[in-house]
Copies of this chain bind each other. A is one copy, B any other.
Amino acid sequence: MSGSTASETLATVIAHLRDRQHAHLTALGEFLSIPSVSMDPAHAADMATAAQWMVDCLQRIGMTRTEIVATAGHPIVFSEWLDAGSAMPTLLIYGHYDVQPADPIDAWHTPPFAPSIRDGNLYARGASDDKGQVMAVVAALDAWLHTFGRLPINVKLLVEGEEETSSVGLRRFVRTETERLHCNAVLMVDSSMLTPQHPLILYGTRGNCYLEITVRGPASDLHSGTFGGAVENPFNVLVRLLASLQDGDMRRVQVPGFYDRVRTVDDAERRLLASLPLNDAVLQAMTGAPALAGEAGYSAIERASIRPTLDIHGISGGFTGPGKKTVIPAQATAKLSMRLVPNQDPEDIARQVIDFLRRQAPPTVSLDVHILSASRPVLIDYRVPEVQAASQAFEKAFGALAGFMIGGGTLPIAADFQEALGAPLVITGFGLPDDNMHAPNEKLNLSCFFRGSEMIAHYLAALASCP
Interface residues of A (CB under 8 A from B): 39-41, 100-101, 103, 107, 164-165, 192, 206, 208, 210, 212, 216-233, 235-240, 242-244, 246, 248, 283-284, 286-295, 300-301, 303-304, 307-329, 332-333, 335, 337, 339, 360, 362-366, 372-373, 407-410, 433, 436-441
CB pair A230–B283 under 8 Å, yes or no, is yes
Interface centre among A107, A291, A300, A314 (most CB of B within 10 A): A314
Residue of B nearest to A221 (CB): B439
Residue of B nearest to A233 (CB): B311
CB pair A438–B312 under 8 Å, yes or no, is no
| A354, B312: Cα distance in complex, Å | 23
Minimum CB–CB distance from A317 to chain B (whole Å) comes to 7
CB pair B311–A328 under 8 Å, yes or no, is yes
Residues of B within 8 A of A314 (CB): 235, 317-320, 325, 327, 329
| A314, B333: Cα distance in complex, Å | 11
CB pair B101–A325 under 8 Å, yes or no, is yes
Besides A103-B321, A227-B408, A235-B315, 14 new A-B residue pairs in contact (Cβ under 8 A), listed by A number: A100-B325, A101-B321, A101-B323, A165-B323, A212-B324, A224-B311, A224-B313, A225-B408, A226-B437, A236-B310, A238-B239, A311-B328, A314-B317, A314-B318
| A322, B39: Cα distance in complex, Å | 7
| A222, B332: Cα distance in complex, Å | 24
CB pair B321–A40 under 8 Å, yes or no, is yes
Minimum CB–CB distance from A10 to chain B (whole Å) comes to 32
Residues of B within 8 A of A220 (CB): 107, 288, 436, 439-441
CB pair B326–A318 under 8 Å, yes or no, is no
CB pair A319–B231 under 8 Å, yes or no, is no
CB pair A228–B363 under 8 Å, yes or no, is no
CB pair B437–A223 under 8 Å, yes or no, is yes
CB pair B438–A223 under 8 Å, yes or no, is yes
Q: Which of B103, B304, B323, B328 contacts A230 (CB 8 A)?
A: B304
Given A220-B440, A235-B312, A236-B246, are A227 and B287 neighbors across the interface (CB < 8 Å)? yes
| A220, B360: Cα distance in complex, Å | 34
Minimum CB–CB distance from A203 to chain B (whole Å) comes to 16
Q: Which of B311, B324, B407, B409 contacts A372 (CB 8 A)?
A: B324
Q: Which of B248, B319, B333 contacts A313 (CB 8 A)?
A: B319
| A165, B326: Cα distance in complex, Å | 11
Minimum CB–CB distance from A426 to chain B (whole Å) comes to 18
Given A231-B294, A293-B232, A436-B220, are A226 and B409 neighbors across the interface (CB < 8 Å)? yes
Q: Which of B225, B333, B337, B441 contacts A324 (CB 8 A)?
A: B337
Residue of B nearest to A305 (CB): B229
Minimum CB–CB distance from A172 to chain B (whole Å) comes to 19
CB pair B438–A327 under 8 Å, yes or no, is yes
Residues of B within 8 A of A39 (CB): 321-325
| A231, B103: Cα distance in complex, Å | 22
Minimum CB–CB distance from A208 to chain B (whole Å) comes to 7
Minimum CB–CB distance from A324 to chain B (whole Å) comes to 5
CB pair B326–A311 under 8 Å, yes or no, is yes
Q: Which of B164, B286, B408 contacts A228 (CB 8 A)?
A: B408
Given A39-B324, A227-B304, A229-B295, are A335 and B319 neighbors across the interface (CB < 8 Å)? yes
Interface centre among A216, A337, A360 (most CB of B within 10 A): A337
CB pair A229–B408 under 8 Å, yes or no, is yes
Residue of B nearest to A360 (CB): B248
